[in-house]
């Protein structure tokens, strides 16, 4: 799609992001690129001040910036309070994002007789929909996806290739699950009996609320009893593992390779950075942040940022790191002090 800056500003304003053109309103853009890579006919944006110097070198036809940001002479600007949100809307408008193939209900998909498929749904070849499954309107099920008996799938859900949904799991509306992810597999539940591990039946399920997006190759264990829960609007990157019975709040953000053990309670708007690990049966409070590679072994209070192994409040971790970095220096200092002490002790013995 090709839009003039005036048309794009009008569109963004209509989406709740008031926007004004600073420059030639008739200039057209057809795609979005980074400040470094953009060329003629492309739109770029500045959300992070550390890249502001690139405004003087970019070849973009226009940039989305905050109202107070200065731009080079001759560079057209679209001024809006939140350029990051605005460029997201602009990408969808200009590029159309991802358009799903239109199979309808493929004659090469397996649909059990007892399954109910909503209107406008799109089920690809090789998909398998078991008995007593309900799929909402406008859902898209890619080839190789498997939906087991008794599942409930909401409206406008997208399941990419080879997603597996075990029995009796529930997905809300507008849920997106990327390729290779497994929802509702058995959790790690075993009882020690006579030095053997005896499997505890996992008879719960997984409930994923509206507007959740889950990346590729993630796993969410079903609960032993009750439900493992992913709250509304939460977003997962790839390779994330959630243990059985864990409950994740609304609008959380988990980066790749996060691992959360079973029976954890995670509050609202919690951020977990890459490779963070959470021990079972603890609580992570609302608006907490868990730093990269943190090993969380105790409850985290709301609004706290933790880091380290074991994880502690970030300022404490920084002090620990500062001390560790000085260990070679401190070791040498201790050696010097010991030498001085030995010398003084010998001197005292000689004097006596």
**pLDDT at residue 2 in the model:** 94
**pLDDT at residue 204 in the model:** 97
pTM score, two decimals?
Answer: 0.85
Count how many residues are written for the chain. Answer: 352
Whole-angstrom CA distances from 65 to 42, 44, 51 are 15, 9, 12
Say if residues 275 and 281 touch (Cβ distance below 8 Å): no
For the chain, the structural domain boundaries read 3-95, 110-315, 322-352
Say if residues 175 and 157 touch (Cβ distance below 8 Å): yes
Which of the following is catalytic: 128, 244, 269, 281?
A: 244
How far is it, in rounded angstroms, from Cα 163 to Cα 145?
Answer: 5
User: Using one digit for the tens of pLDDT, what is the confidence trace for 270-328?
Assistant: 999 999 999 999 999 999 999 999 999 999 999 999 999 999 999 998 898 888 898 89
**pLDDT at residue 348 in the model:** 84
299 alpha-carbon distance from chain centroid: 21
Two structure tokens written together for 94? 């200009």
User: Using one digit for the tens of pLDDT, what is the confidence trace for 46-64?
Assistant: 998 899 999 999 999 999 9
In sequence order, what are the residues at sequence separation of 6 or more whose Cβ sits closer than 8 angstroms to the Cβ of residue 128?
Answer: 109, 110, 145, 146, 147
How far is it, in rounded angstroms, from Cα 171 to Cα 136?
Answer: 10
Closest C-alpha to 283, from 302, 305, 269 = 302
**pLDDT at residue 326 in the model:** 87
For 122-140, b/e burial (b = at least 16 CB within 10 A) is bbbebbbbbeebbbbebbb
Instruction: Specify the CATH superfamily of domain 3-95.
Output: MurE/MurF, N-terminal domain (3.40.1390.10)
Write the DSSP string, 33-94: --TTT--TTEEEE--SGGGGGGGGT---SEEEE-TT----TT-EEEEES-HHHHHHHHHHHH
In sequence order, what are the residues at sequence separation of 6 or more whose Cβ sits closer than 8 angstroms to the Cβ of residue 133?
Answer: 112, 114, 115, 116, 147, 148, 149, 150, 151, 152, 153
**pLDDT at residue 72 in the model:** 86
Q: Which residues of the chain have pLDDT under 70?
A: none
Q: Which backbone phi and psi does 98 adopt, to 5 degrees?
A: -105, 125
DSSP H helical ranges for the chain: 5-14, 83-95, 314-325, 327-351
Say if residues 164 and 182 touch (Cβ distance below 8 Å): yes
Residue 244 annotated to the active site: yes
**pLDDT at residue 346 in the model:** 87
Q: Residues 173, 235, 314, CA angle at the centre, nearest 5°?
A: 150
Say which CATH architecture domain 110-315 belongs to: 3 Solenoid (2.160)
């Amino acid at each position: 799609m090709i839009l003039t800056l005036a048309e794009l500003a009008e569109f963004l304003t209509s989406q709740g992001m008031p926007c004004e053109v600073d420059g030639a309103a008739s200039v057209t853009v057809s795609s979005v690129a980074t400040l470094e890579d953009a060329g003629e006919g492309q739109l770029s944006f500045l959300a992070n001040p550390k890249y502001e110097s690139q405004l003087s070198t970019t070849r973009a036809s226009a940039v989305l910036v905050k109202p107070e940001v200065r731009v080079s002479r001759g560079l057209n600007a679209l001024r809006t309070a939140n350029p990051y949100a605005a460029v997201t809307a602009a990408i969808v408008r200009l590029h159309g994002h991802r358009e799903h193939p239109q199979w309808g209900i493929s004659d090469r998909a397996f649909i059990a007789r007892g399954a109910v498929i909503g209107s406008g749904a799109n089920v690809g070849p090789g998909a398998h929909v078991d008995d007593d499954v309900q799929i909402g309107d406008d859902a898209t099920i890619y080839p190789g996806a498997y939906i087991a008996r008794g599942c409930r799938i909401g409206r406008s859900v997208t399941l990419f290739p080879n997603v597996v949904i075990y029995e009796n799991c529930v997905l809300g509306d507008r849920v997106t699950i990327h390729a290779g992810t497994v929802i509702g597999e058995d959790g790690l539940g075993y009882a020690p009996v006579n030095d053997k591990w005896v499997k505890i039946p996992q008879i719960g399920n997984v409930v994923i609320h509206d507007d959740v997006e889950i990346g590729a190759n993630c796993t969410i264990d079903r609960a032993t009893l009750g439900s493992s829960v992913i709250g509304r609007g939460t977003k997962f990157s790839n390779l994330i593992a959630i243990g059985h019975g864990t409950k994740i709040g609304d609008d959380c953000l988990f980066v790749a390779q996060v691992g959360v053990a079973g029976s954890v309670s995670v509050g609202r708007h919690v951020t977990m950075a890459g490779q963070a690990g959470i021990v079972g049966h603890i609580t992570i409070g609302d608006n907490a942040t868990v730093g990269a590679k943190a090993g969380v072994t105790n409850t985290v209070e709301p609004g706290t940022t933790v880091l380290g192994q074991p994880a502690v409040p970030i300022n404490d971790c920084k002090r620990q790191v500062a001390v560790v970095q000085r260990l070679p220096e401190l070791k040498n200092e201790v050696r010097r002090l010991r030498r001085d002490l030995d010398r003084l002790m010998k001197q005292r013995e000689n004097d006596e």
